[in-house]
């Protein structure tokens, strides 16, 4: 099978403006992946499936990732003018020093697909897409029209992470009930404190439920 760099080059040649970036994996597995721009994702997916050499005809796994807002510290070299004493005389000299610079990285949601070729017996090739943010711009194109096996798995990602897959043939919750609010796999998801609908023997959960009932009763009395 082609290397990840060769696959990137093949996509860029076949799909102009495909916006494909290699995401390196520093772990021992070294399973690098391709970050695909949402605007051309369907065209890229179709190429990966239909290319005679790659023939990635099977999507084995689709999963979501939630990336919170975070701060990254990077070391950069800067040139500064400093005062130094040389032979008893103070002089202004330029010196290159290393400083740590912090920058904010806005959060986003990610969908990751593992692709194989049944025909060629190779894989996986891992591709991923990212949303613009994790609040009001969470749409990504569905790849179910390319790989039918992604249908239920994209529904699971929608249910648990909140990514809205445009073009999906039947996008609705698959694990949680329709009236359920929020998305349980988000990193900032807060567990409910009212477990009346699901009796449990665990003491800590019962205490939370009792506290919830007390708060509700107090709010009712205040009204």
**Average pLDDT of the chain?**
90
DSSP class of residue 178 equals: T
Tens of pLDDT, residue by residue over 144-156, are: 999 999 999 999 9
pTM above 0.75, yes or no: yes
The DSSP result for 22-89, as a single string, is: EE---STT---EEEE-GGGHHHHHHHHHH-TTT---EEEEEEEEEE--EEEEEEEEEEEEEEEEETTE
Comparison of pLDDT for 37 and 76, the residue scoring more = 37
200 has pLDDT over 60:
no
Contact 98, 77 (CB under 8 A): yes
**Tokens encoding 217:** 């009763």
Contact 118, 56 (CB under 8 A): no
193 has pLDDT over 70:
no
Work out the pLDDT band at 66, boundaries 50, 70, 90. Answer: very high
Residue for token pair 């029209």: 145
Tell me what the mean pLDDT of segment 37-64 comes to. Answer: 97
CATH topology of domain 4-67+108-166: Beta Polymerase; domain 2 (3.30.460)
3-state per-residue secondary structure call for 78-134: EEEEEEEEECCEEEEEEEEEEEEEEEEECCEEEEEEEEEECCCCEEEEEEEEECCCC
60 has pLDDT over 90:
yes
Taking alpha carbons only, the member of 135, 70, 149, 142 closest to residue 103 is 70
CB atoms within 10 A of CB 15: 21
Taking alpha carbons only, the member of 34, 204, 11 closest to residue 115 is 34
Backbone φ and ψ of 177, nearest 5°: -75, 160
142 has pLDDT over 60:
yes
**Domains of the chain: which residue ranges?**
4-67+108-166, 71-103, 191-223
Peptide bond into 124 cis (omega under 30): yes
Angle 137-46-31 from CA coordinates, rounded to 5°: 75
Strand duo 33-36 + 122-130: pairing = parallel
């Amino acid at each position: 099978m082609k290397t990840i760099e060769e696959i990137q080059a093949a996509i860029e040649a076949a799909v102009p403006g495909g916006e494909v970036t290699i995401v390196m994996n520093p772990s021992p597995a070294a399973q690098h992946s391709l970050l695909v721009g949402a605007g051309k994702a369907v065209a890229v997916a179709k190429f990966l499936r239909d290319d005679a050499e790659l023939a990635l005809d099977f999507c084995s796994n689709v999963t979501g990732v939630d990336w919170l807002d975070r701060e990254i510290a990077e070391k950069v070299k800067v040139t500064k003018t400093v005062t130094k004493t040389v032979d008893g005389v103070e002089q202004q000299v330029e010196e290159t020093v290393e400083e740590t610079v912090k920058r904010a990285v806005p959060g986003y949601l990610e969908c990751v697909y593992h692709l194989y070729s049944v025909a060629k017996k190779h894989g996986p090739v891992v591709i991923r897409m990212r949303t613009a943010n994790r609040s009001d711009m969470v749409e990504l194109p569905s790849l179910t029209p390319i790989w039918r096996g992604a249908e239920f798995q994209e529904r699971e990602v929608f249910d648990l992470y909140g990514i809205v897959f445009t073009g999906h043939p039947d996008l609705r919750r698959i694990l949680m009930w329709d009236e359920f609010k929020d998305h349980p796999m988000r990193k900032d998801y807060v567990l409910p404190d009212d477990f009346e609908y699901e009796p449990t023997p665990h003491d800590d959960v019962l205490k939370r439920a009792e506290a919830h009932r007390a708060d509700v009763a107090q709010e009712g009395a205040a009204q």
